[in-house]
Chain A
Amino acid sequence: MYKVTFKFENSEDVIVFAAFGENLLEVARKTNVAIDAPCSGNASCGKCRVKLVGGTLDSKKTRHISDEEYAQGWRLACVSKICDNVDVLVPDIASAYRSRMKVADLSSPDEIKIFDDLKGQVCEAGIALKNDMEVVSIHMDTPSLDDTMPDNERLTRAITEVTGMQIVRIPYAVMRKLAVVLRESSFDVQVVWRRNANDVFVYDVLPKEKPVVVAGLAVDIGTTTVSAIIINMLDGSILAKGSSGNGQIRYGADVINRIIESVKPGGSERLQKAIIEETINPLIDTMCRQAKISHDSIYRMSVAANTTMNHLLFGLNGDSIRTEPYIPTFFKTNSMYTADIGIRVNPCAHIIVAPNIGSYVGGDITAGAFVSMLWNKPEFSLFIDLGTNGEIVFGNSDFMFSCACSAGPAFEGGDISCGMRATDGAIEACTIDKETMEPTFTVVGEEGTKPIGLCGSGIIDVIAELFRCGIISPKGKFIREGARVRHDQYGIGSYVLAFEKDAGSVKDVEINEVDIDNFIRAKGAIFSAIRTMLSYCDFDISMIEHVYVAGGIGSGINMKNAIRIGMFPDVPLELYEYIGNSSLVGAYAMLYSSESERKVYEIAKNMTYLELSAITSYMDEFVGACFLPHTDAALFPSIID
């Protein structure tokens, strides 16, 4: 056995013992050391770079590491085997994807504004903002030798008196505590229940004097990022909000790699554990602490996630999503409970799942489409959700089409050498001086935070600016030389945004031609999907009357730049509206308002799913769009300077 010491830039060492020949990335995974490996350890992405600071590693050289870097000790974890006691430095960027769970400061009005906005719009659409959860004080007669009715019948009779309902269902969790609670509070209790058409379901029985919180949990499970809120089910207020990286990411960056992992022996369990025990439950713990409530007072949960993510959450076989004819296990389900899958909330809590409409258009889109309100307006609107999968909805109150395209994780910083989620240290906006080629940028975090990488909105800005300044060609290749432009031994050009001395990590923050190429493919996928879908419906870009952009790619996208690089259609800027994480807001709506939940089911049923792979012109459109801004420059008249 050899001693492996993982060192970090800003935290304590992790020491572990490993056998001869063990793979370093596997050792790290087993030890819960986060090293980003979007390609799942195939040596193809080059993101699992670590620095050898002591001992030796049996490590192959790959194209991702230059001779100079190899000499400095840089290695790819996925091709390194243990053969000695080693000290390995894991740079911040390698673990940045995991990016420390982040809990939002609710005193800032920005954080809750989107939820308040939604409530207003929902009301305007004539949808009631209420659900079937209630807390009611119930008084029962104290039993005696003359009144020998058992506790559950006593409670049932009292509830029937109040509600007029004959059937009252008392689940195991309540039954177990019933005797003690009733006696401790002298048969004067508060009951949390759900009133259905035919029966009453009792979630909890609590002592009279205790302040009761009826909370709900809404979760948006993205392929890369998970965000969640805890709300008060009775008034809809937000009690806590947080986000975290999806723990499954170390098993692959995109849905296809996850599905492949899930069908390996034990894979489904590993992925379920990664999302529930390593991601959602810790997030719940943190948010409950912040909201000062107990886990048991979360009585309902709602989930908005793409089809693969909601299948993997429930541990369902995802293989049929990946293979023709692409059939998932469910589109809509109402029979899932938190206790089934070990989510740490009240065991009786039922899970509302935003419905899927296709293998690659999932609940995140149906929930998001609800939030955009395009289904309630006469204008022809486009709804674009930028994530690892780009999903697009087009329509109005009369019809809706949707499609999905695989954009890859570039919008969330994946597949980009210095890419990261929009957390502290991420460059989120950038301009470049045309003459000097010097960048000016803003970094997420407190004043003075040093840059360590680029998030989606930052990448859009950097590429748009490089292109505007004539530093890169429409193919994304460097065509100007300067102090910040350099080429590696293979001739791959890169642009340095921050040299090591100004950066917050141990290496330069830069963007190279491979990154730009990856991003151009991502934006090409989005734009070509939009064009293909519009032309399928016999529409033209000029007919778009409103564009809703959703996704957690940064505090906001510079729409002008997104048009400049040919990612979004060239329509007037004022038609664009950034609506943030609409998937989470949609999950919130379904959780808090039962009528909204039903509306989302209705939207899902009415949406036509377009399978882009079945449309032959899509590939042509895609290649045409893999150019800045587009092979057909006439599509982008406004950017001709």
Chain B
Amino acid sequence: MPFTAKSGKFNASIKTVTVGTGDKAITLGGENVLPFYTFDAPIENAPKVGIEITDFGMENEPECVKKYYEGCTTLADIAKKAASFEGVDFLCFRMEGGDPNGANKSTEELMAALKEVAEAVDCPLVVAGSKNAEKDAELLSKAAEAVQGKNAIILAAREENYKTVGAAAGLAYNQIVGAESSVDINLAKQLNVLLTQLGVNASSIAMNVGTAAAGYGYEYVASTMQRVKAAALSQNDTQLQMPIITPVASEVWGVKEAVTTEADMPEWGCQERRGVDMEVQTAAADLACGSNAVILKHPTSVATISKMIKELV
């Protein structure tokens, strides 16, 4: 008797969300199979890779990243350069300096920086906040206004500030609302319910269900992503069918494997290699668990992950 493979195609599918405008616009989601299960059904929109820069320019970046941006003097230069690396699908601008416990830059200053970046590039844009929920309420609302017409992802509305961020990004300025929750399938779903009840279109939401560097409590992240995807596809849970976008760079470049210098830990080998390894491994795992987009920092990681996606999809 011949072997007939049973298709693992689901009746439900992930919602598609288009980011950016014009030729370079990208589409996230749309698949009705598990991550990379192209043998069950074709995956129309391959996962996307973004590159992250911050309002500090090259100031806080590791040496191994700086060298790729040699000659860039302004944020606009940096943004253009970042967007030009091989495999970059979109650019993420993180307003790290807004953190009240850090540089505490003013909203005006950051909006000027954001506008500079947004005008410099024509690729799709993701605007990330300072990680401080209170400050982000203001920062991200203004950001949604500042990049009006760009169809950008505003990363992210959280339970504490979803009303302000959701209303500005999702209702007033027609951006895509990033919905960030902390590594729990129910909390992810609750935030989506709250946002849709606020009036945000379910097709204008991308989830960040939580993130971690591989080895740093990562199994919770993996399990949450997998279960979100399983519920979305096998149970047709419409409140979990939003595509997932996962910031990787902001996690991995702070862990000891990436920050310890070779002088301090000669037996660990090349520092750049370690940082890139952490980033690639984390991103590959995120994608295998169901992320539709990852945000990276090192051009080598971007190229590597992009190649991996091309070969698998």
Contact = CB atoms under 8 A, between A and B. Distances in A.
B9 interface: no
A627 B184 contact: no
**Size bracket of the A interface:** 10 to 19
B194 A475 contact: yes
A631 B163 contact: no
A623 B187 contact: yes
A291 interface: no
Contacts of B237: 632
A620 interface: yes
Given A475-B159, A479-B163, A623 B186 contact: yes
Given A473-B197, A474-B193, A474-B197, A627 B159 contact: no
A267 interface: no
B194 A474 contact: yes
Interface in B155-172: 159, 163
B242 interface: no
B165 to A, nearest CB: 14
A315 interface: no
A473 B194 contact: yes
Contacts of B193: 474, 627, 631, 633
Interface string A53-84: 00000000000000000000000000000000
Contacts of A633: 193
A207 interface: no
Interface string A618-632: 001001101100011
B185 interface: yes
A631 B189 CA distance: 7
A620 B186 contact: yes
Contacts of B187: 623
Interface residues of B, number: 12
A635 to B, nearest CB: 12
A53 to B, nearest CB: 37
Contacts of A479: 163
A475 B160 CA distance: 10
A74 B21 CA distance: 58
B190 interface: yes
A626 B191 CA distance: 12
Interface string A454-487: 0000000000000000000111000100000000
Given A623-B184, A627-B186, 16 more contacts: A473-B194, A473-B197, A474-B190, A474-B193, A475-B159, A475-B190, A475-B194, A620-B186, A623-B187, A624-B186, A631-B189, A631-B190, A631-B193, A632-B189, A632-B237, A633-B193
Contacts of A627: 186, 190, 193
A616 to B, nearest CB: 11
Interface string B190-201: 100110010000
B126 to A, nearest CB: 26
Contacts of B185: 620
Interface string B174-210: 0000000000111101100110010000000000000
28 contacts: A473-B194, A473-B197, A474-B190, A474-B193, A474-B194, A474-B197, A475-B159, A475-B190, A475-B194, A479-B163, A620-B185, A620-B186, A623-B184, A623-B186, A623-B187, A624-B186, A624-B189, A626-B186, A627-B186, A627-B190, A627-B193, A631-B186, A631-B189, A631-B190, A631-B193, A632-B189, A632-B237, A633-B193
- 8 tightest A-B contacts by CB? A624-B186, A623-B186, A631-B186, A631-B189, A627-B190, A631-B190, A623-B184, A473-B194
B201 to A, nearest CB: 18
Nearest to B185: A620
A473 B197 CA distance: 9
Interface core residue of A473, A624, A631 (most chain B CB under 10 Å): A631
A631 B196 CA distance: 13
A475 B190 CA distance: 8
A473 B128 CA distance: 26
Contacts of A474: 190, 193-194, 197
